[in-house]
Amino acid sequence: MSEAETQPQSQLIDGRYRVLGPIADGGMATVYRAKDERLERVVAIKVMHTQLAQGPHRDQFVARFHREARSAAAISNPHIVQVYDSGTAGGRDYLVMEYVHGVNLRHEMNERGTFSVHETVRIISQTLDGLASAHRAGVVHRDIKPENILLNDRGRVQITDFGLAKAMSEATLSTTGMLLGTAAYLAPEMIENNLATPQGDLYSVGIMAWEMLAGQVPFTSDNPVTMVFKHVHEDVPALQGVCQGIDPSISAFVAHLTARTVENRPVDAAAALQELKTLSSRIGVDGWQYRYVPADTEAAGQEATSPLVGTLPPNPPAATGEDTKPSPISPELPAASASPAYEKTQAMSPGTYEHQSSPNAATQAIGGRTLANDGTAAANNPTMTIGLMDAPTEGQVEEPSGDNPTAKTMPQKRSRLRKPVVITTIILALLALLMSAGAAWWYFLGPGSYYSVPRPEDLSCSTNSACRITAVKWKPFESTLKVAGVPFQVSEEFSDKVSKGEVISTDPGDVGGHVSKRTGAKLKVIVSKGVRHVTVPKDILDPTSAAGKKPMETLSQAGFTNIVHDESKDEYSVDLPAGAAKSISPKPGTTVAHNRKVTLVLSKGPMPVSMPDVTGRTKDDAQAAFDDAKLKPNYSEEFNDSVPAGSIVSTSTKAGTQLHWGDKVDVVVSKGPETVTIPDVRGKNENDAQKTLEALGLKVKISAPLGDLTHQVRFQSPDPGAQVRVRGNDGNPTVITLTVV
């Protein structure tokens, strides 16, 4: 029994709105027909359910109520259902809205199957006109679908349920991680990028137009995950493929609205409406009258129904009991009537569409939660019944009359029935216990306790074998996970086998793997960054740098994994120490894949050589020998009485000694015999003259044939000014003879 069934009609809300009767009961609220006694007009009142008003998520639902009021109040357009008032009574929030007598578009679609181009354009143009006002006010509806398009008794469109609407500046698909809206009409960017835009509303309008003309939505599936996946990854098929013969401009217009990318759609509803007006002027009479009739309809001989205006049922009967004494609103309100008049007419308000069910219209909850058709979570109600249900009325038990013999035997019948009733009660109690246990198992241990990892679109799986998730494109798989509601955690790694942007592995790793809902677990996804690229150090050929001193180790630390070094090709070097890099390919500073071959030639250091024998050879000959041995001579000169000038007197290293390229050798070059100029010492004292000459390295001989009386030098030989050797070939000093008297 619904919460509305236990209350009498004619209750007074806030001393102003008298409840006349229920219209519809949805997952979030019940909608009532009421009379505004202050303004003397009929209105629709949407009252939040008690379990939501008192539940743990009350703030979320109240915020949606207020958002719906603000969104609708900000828009002034005859094609938008107006919100008059809002408030709280009995602890439950309510909205007072315009009362629309008519049906929603889903009802007409179920009745008619397909629409003519003229009927479709009329409804779509009015819908776009209403959305244009919303978009100008900065409001995105986010849930356009046939259930939210009301057709009043004059056939005019009125858009309802702005409960999912948000201002464009803050518009995203969901703030709770759940996909909101109906799967068949969701725009790709709403699913994939969590982004709600005016173009998203146009996409939904385009899908709705496609369905009106073709009799079905372009994408159909029993699985809402598969359906939204198609919206993201497939283009909407051309309308002409189904409606052959339709005016091409109509097909092109619908294709423009349903373009997969936002940029390829009109910027907003006003632009789309102007485009529709422009093409309407070019459609001929036959184009307006075109209506697609499916083959099964033709076979059954069905005729096209009449235009919308005139096909609507009459107004519903007014509720009785208006003279009942007013009373404050209680937590419960009257039940939705099951009378044929209500079921047929469905006096529409922003809640009545919740009872129009069809395979394409049922609002889906993606990610393990159920949504009512107004997009809200059905709290404490995993399975919602769509439609107005007959319900027994308490207290309506017929009393037996005196003429009724059945009445006299009722005590006996009650006695005979008591035992079966007890047995039935016990059985029902046991069944309830088993169902509770089963529900507990399902929730804590069974399928309700985990998410199942979906199969990526581009992954082929063999039958009866585990299907590993690897080498599949990440972006489409990410969309699949978001649609399925599976929480995930992404990390990136380099891979030599898996291309950049593809999945390397997941944990759990197989399709159908379980991710616990109870422990806050997430599917771990490793995405490939492609082959790792590294750079050859720029200073690797500099033997004084850290990289040049240990080139092999440096390349390994940089990340190169295919280093080729052939010792047989290493070379001696005068300048480079052993182990330094002599050459490398690719060149220093080049960035390549880490597994690309890097060829390295190392230095073996200076080559060993023998000291050449250069003693007695001319300096030029000695230099040539040193050049051949790549030795570095350090020359010095000295006088030598036995070695000609310019020849090598001696070396610091003996001939034949092993040296290496670049070693230094000290070399002495002869300047020839040392010579001096004989000074004039005549007339000087014998001793002074002798000292002067000996100071030059000469040897002095004194001759005194007449006696040494004055000790004065009279003659010298060789004569003054003569150039003489200091030493002779025998190495002895040259003798200078002085004659004294």
CA distances for 542 relative to 46, 536, 564, 584, 607, angstroms: 82, 13, 20, 12, 20
Can you name the residues that pair with 17 across neighbouring β-strands? 13, 36
Low-confidence residues in the chain, pLDDT < 50: 1-8, 166-181, 299, 301-413
**63 backbone dihedrals φ, ψ, rounded to 5°:** -60, -35
3-class SS at 306?
coil
Distance CA 305, CA 285 (A): 19
Specify burial of residue 105 (Cβ count, 10 A radius: 0-12, 13-18, 19+): buried
- Count of helix runs (H) and strand runs (E) in the chain: 19, 31
Task: Say which DSSP state 510 is in.
Answer: B
Which segments of 127-220 are extended strands (E)?
139-140, 149-152, 157-159, 166-167
Treating both helix axes as pointing N-terminal to C-terminal, what angle do 198-214 and 105-112 enclose, rounded to 10 degrees? 20
Side-chain half-sphere of 679: how many Cα atoms within 13 Å? 16
Q: Pick from 675, 676, 674, 682: which is nearest to 717 by CA?
A: 682
Provide DSSP, 124-142.
HHHHHHHHHHHHHTTEE--
Closest residue by Cα to residue 348 from 711, 110, 101: 101
Q: Which two tokens stand for residue 220?
A: 């159909």
Question: Residues 715, 682: contact at Cβ < 8 Å?
Answer: yes
* pLDDT for the residue 342: 31
SS3 of residue 700 by DSSP: strand
- 449-457+468-528 domain in CATH 3.40.1380.10? no
Q: What is the pLDDT of residue 429?
A: 73
What separation in angstroms does the CA of 240 have from each of 234, 342, 509?
17, 38, 43
> Would you tell me which CATH number, out of the four given (3.30.10.20, 3.40.50.970, 3.60.15.10, 2.60.120.620), belongs to the domain 675-740?
3.30.10.20
Which residues are within 8 A (CB) of 554 and not within 5 positions of it... i.e. 6 or more apart?
537, 540, 546, 547
* Structure-block tokens of residue 248: 């091409």
* Tokens describing residue 113: 């199957």
Phi-psi region for residue 387, left (φ > 0), alpha (ψ -120 to 50) or beta?
Answer: left
β-sheet with 648-651: strand ranges across = 632-638, 664-670, 648-651
DSSP alpha helices (H): ranges in 238-324?
A: 248-257, 269-280, 285-289, 295-299
Q: Is 680 a catalytic residue?
A: no
- Residue 292 CA to residue 115 CA, distance in Å, equals 8
**For residue 366, what are its two tokens?**
């993606």
Residues 84, 85, 86, 92, CA torsion sign = negative
Shared fold status for 112-299 and 608-670: no
CA angle 145, 336, 17 (to 5 degrees): 95
The amino acid occupying position 707 is G
Q: Is the bond preceding 718 in cis, omega lying within 30 degrees of 0?
A: yes
Question: 587: how many CB neighbours lie within 10 A of its CB?
Answer: 11
- Class of residue 729 by CB neighbours under 10 A (exposed 0-12, middle 13-18, buried 19+): exposed
Domain chopping of the chain, boundaries:
112-299, 449-457+468-528, 533-602, 608-670, 675-740
Closest CA to 158 of 81, 102, 105: 81
**Gap between the Cα atoms of 9 and 21, Å rounded:** 6
CA distance 484 to 503: 18
The CATH number, out of the four listed (3.30.10.20, 3.30.43.10, 3.40.50.720, 3.40.50.2300), of the domain defined by the range 608-670? 3.30.10.20
SS (H, E, C) 431-442: HHHHHHHHHHHH
Sequence-distant (6+) residues with CB within 8 A of 665 are 611, 626, 631, 632, 633, 634, 651, 652, 653, 659
Contact present, 145 and 211 (Cβ < 8 Å):
no
Looking at residue 729, its pLDDT comes to 77
- Residue 277 has a CB neighbour count (10 Å cut-off) of 12
CA proximity to 349, closest of 163, 490, 492, 191: 163
The sign one gets for the Cα dihedral 539, 543, 549, 553 is positive
> Rounded distance, CA 739 to CA 734, Å?
17
Using CA atoms, how far residue 66 sits from 182, 272, 501, in Å, is: 22, 29, 43
CA distance linking residue 3 with residue 194, whole number of Å: 35
Amino acid 502: pLDDT? 94
CB 270 within 8 A of CB 135: yes
- Rounded to two decimals, what is the model's pTM? 0.46
In terms of Cα–Cα distance, which of 297, 276, 343, 357 is closest to 115?
Answer: 297
> Is CATH 1.10.510.10 the classification given to domain 112-299?
yes
**Which of 362, 527, 368, 530 is CA-nearest to residue 456?**
527
Choice among 25, 129, 143, 374 that is catalytic: 143
For residue 379, give the nearest of 161, 57, 62 by alpha carbon.
57
- The pLDDT score that the predictor gives to residue 368 is 33
How far, in Å, CA of 57 to CA of 28, rounded?
Answer: 12
* Other Cβ atoms closer than 10 A to 85: 16
Cα-flanking dihedrals φ and ψ of residue 675, to 5°? Answer: -125, 155
Residues 6+ apart with CB under 8 A from 618: 646, 647, 648
Cα(236)–Cα(582) distance, integer angstroms: 63
CATH of domain 533-602: 3.30.10.20
Q: Look at residues 46, 43, 33, 39 and name the one whose alpha carbon lies nearest to residue 320.
A: 33
Cα–Cα dist 50/56, whole Å: 12
- Mapped onto helix, strand or coil, the DSSP state of residue 680 is coil
pLDDT value at residue 295: 76
The partner residues of 167 in beta bridges, in order of sequence, read: 139
pLDDT at 655: 92
